[in-house]
Amino acid sequence: MVAQLPAIAVAPFSLFIGTVGAISVFKAVYVDKRELKCACVGGDSNVPLGFVSLSENIFMIAGALLMLSF
């Protein structure tokens, strides 16, 4: 988006990255039952990073699908 490319050129990459990220976070957190720690304050916080990361990736997928629909 910084390069001001058209949405139709950016959306497929965003969709791919969001989908791969969502699948990997879902597998790590909900299938393998791993606990992901947030590194934002040195890993000392108790942030539910799995849910936050999965939500971020789902919104990235939704944004890409929205860009492709227009």
pLDDT tens by residue, 13-63: 999 999 999 999 999 989 998 877 766 666 666 677 788 889 999 999 999
Q: What is the pLDDT of residue 42?
A: 60
Total-model pTM = 0.80
User: What gap in Å lies between CA 50 and CA 29, rounded to an integer?
Assistant: 6
Long-range pairs for 16-21 at CB < 8 Å and ≥24 separation?
17/60, 18/57, 18/58, 18/59, 18/60, 18/61, 18/63, 18/64, 19/57, 19/61, 21/53, 21/56, 21/57, 21/60
Q: What is the pLDDT of residue 41?
A: 60
Q: What is the pLDDT of residue 40?
A: 65
Whether the CB-CB separation of 14 and 67 falls below 8 Å is answered with yes
